[in-house]
Amino acid sequence: MRVLLLVLVALGLLGASAEPQSRFDNGLALAPPMGWNDYNAYGLQVNEQVIRDAADRLVGSGLRDAGYVYVNIDDAWMAADRDANGNLQADPDRFPHGIRALADYVHARRLRLGIYEDAGVKTCAGLPGSLGHERQDARQFAAWGVDYLKYDSCYAGEGCGQTTCAPVREHYAAMRDALTATGRPIVFSICSWGADRVWAWGAGYGNLWRTTPDIAPTFASLLSVFHANVGLAGYARPGGWNDPDMLEVGNGMTETEDRAELSLWAAMAAPLIAGADLTTASQQTIADLANRDVIAVDQDPLGRPARLLSADGGLDVLVRPLTNGDVAVVLFNETDAAADVSTTVGHGRYTMRNLWEGTTAVTDGTVGAHLPAHGAAMFRLAKG
């Protein structure tokens, strides 16, 4: 039996933040963005029908009403060449009605459309990048009705291959300023895979910044991404978030692992961008993604991510301060064997809700659970 005992004397000890020199303030992403992206399920095989189906499923499944409002198109949506005026154009076979019509379809369902581009000369799939075309492309996105831009970092300049160079900050600044100049509210997602310690300066350039390499639908990948991101809590706050990549919930991990990912991402105030094929996703996957209690922690307006208070032999305790003095606690078992994990948060009387079991109890501040291998438990504690 493994027991962790921590006494958190004051939640204020969680709050020391790294203050960037400047912050990009476009009034957007005051909570971590929530939505869906095609890449994890479809790779480079995206098309118009995939996006329409995802939008319809977000509505029909209840995920839109739970907060998943962005429908994001990833790489491979565009034609191989710009048009005669140098404008980006959608691949005519994959998107025969164009992006403007697709945006209208998405907006009609009270959703928002996201799109993908690259800060280099080519996207990661080898299609036209935005380097040198930032203002033109930003105007195009705004005219199409785009609400979110994921801006990747392949082929960032001379001598840079697909993944060997991240773009210099000036490339991101150029697109940031171009988006601002359009006057349209567009969330700006910097996708630099954690290069050049992006978390230390990303808040001056975008609304979220990728802190890790691409995630894969395995527990080993989940664990690697979690370890890379969890120590960066001090860099995130409303309007600017650490992004440990999209969710793999429903893409082949166990339900225990899926719930662990959602618990950890919510505790870390990470964007919740689903990546499963929603047209074939199980009811359990939909229910897990739609857990309102877990989402409420992720979207908490205080905007302070959890700190990792203990990691004793792969048994982790994360604590996140919430509005109204509430506290979120995640107990996480990284190991391959079941284990007991516990902690003590403050002292006095608390009402404690188990966010996955939906049960409520009274505690003196002690939180504990018997966790399966790769499992997590998530609790919300309210004083009194």
Q: Which residues are annotated as catalytic?
A: 152, 214
Whole-angstrom CA distances from 58 to 175, 233, 265, 282, 359 are 29, 30, 20, 13, 27
Sequence-ordered list of residues with C-beta below 8 angstroms from that of 164, at least 6 positions apart, any chain: none
How many Cα neighbours within 13 Å face the side chain of 237? 15
User: 70-72 and 272-274: which strand pairing?
Assistant: unpaired
Cα maximum dimension of the chain: 70
Q: E strand or H helix at 66, and its extent? A: helix 63-66
Given the structure tokens 């392949």, which residue do they identify? 154
Given the structure tokens 């999209």, which residue do they identify? 246
- C-alpha 333: how far from chain center: 22
Question: Do the beta carbons of residue 200 and residue 160 sit within 8 Å?
Answer: no
d(CA 42, CA 277): 8
How many Cα neighbours within 13 Å face the side chain of 277? 11
User: 307-312 and 272-274: which strand pairing?
Assistant: unpaired
Residue 320's DSSP bridge partners are: 328
> Cβ–Cβ contacts within 10 Å for residue 70, how many?
25
Q: E strand or H helix at 52, and its extent? A: helix 48-61
d(CA 380, CA 355): 7
- Nearest of 176, 84, 174, 190 to residue 131 by alpha carbon: 174
Q: Take residue 58 and report the two structure tokens written for it.
A: 């977000």
Helices 169-182 and 134-144 cross at an angle (nearest 10°) of 40
Helix (H, G, I), strand (E, B) or coil at 35: strand
Helices within 268-352 (DSSP H only)? 283-289, 292-298
